[in-house]
Amino acid sequence: MAFRLIPREEKFYTDFQALADELKRGARLLEEMLAPERPIWDKADEIKEVEHKCDFLTHEIIQRLNRTFVTPLDREDIHALARSLDDVMDAIDAAASMVRLYRLDPVRFGARELAHIITACTDQVRLALGALEHSKGLITHAIEINRLENEADRTHQQAVRRLFDDEHDPLVVIKWKETLDFLEDATDRCEDVANVLEGVMVKHG
């Protein structure tokens, strides 16, 4: 019977899932921010707190990686996964920061829709990380993240087109275009997470 003299540090799975839970919280706060006709600008502070928590969790993962001799996944994969998860929250935080910085009002087409897609993506990211730990079902969630990212691309294009058609103030166009770009970028970053997870699955499947 095979045994391991030095046990693997399996807490990385728990850490990744905790990080994904924070992404879900940040995404839902963003949806709440954009739900009314006039955005709730103060939600940006709550989202910033989540972003700080994600930074802390990412730092903890990297520190544990530096201290751990035997890891459940390849070191470069653990590092890439931690960074890609943190990048999702950075994009969510950037979008919320733009809404408050520019005092955007009212909410335009595409913003709520993209925020909803971001929430759906973070839900799938969390499910994918659970599947990674149990080595079962990961590909289903990766495919769904990819589908959602494609939906976000289409929504972003429609939103930008309508923005240019309907808005004649160039400053408003610039502000909303930048915000919509950050919203769409959050779904791109979720797809990055899925790509890392698929790479891990290929190595360990």
The pLDDT value given to residue 181: 98
The pLDDT value given to residue 70: 83
Domains of the chain, earliest start first? 11-204 (1.20.58.220)
Residue 10 has pLDDT above 50, yes or no: yes
How confident is the model over 155-160, as a mean pLDDT?
98
The two tokens of residue 8 are 């693997």
Dist CA 24 CA 120 (whole Å): 9
Average confidence score pLDDT of the chain: 93
What are 23-61's pLDDT values in tens digits? 999 999 999 999 999 999 999 999 999 999 999 999 999
Q: Are 110 and 156 within 8 A, CB to CB?
A: yes
Q: How many CB atoms lie within 10 A of CB 96?
A: 30
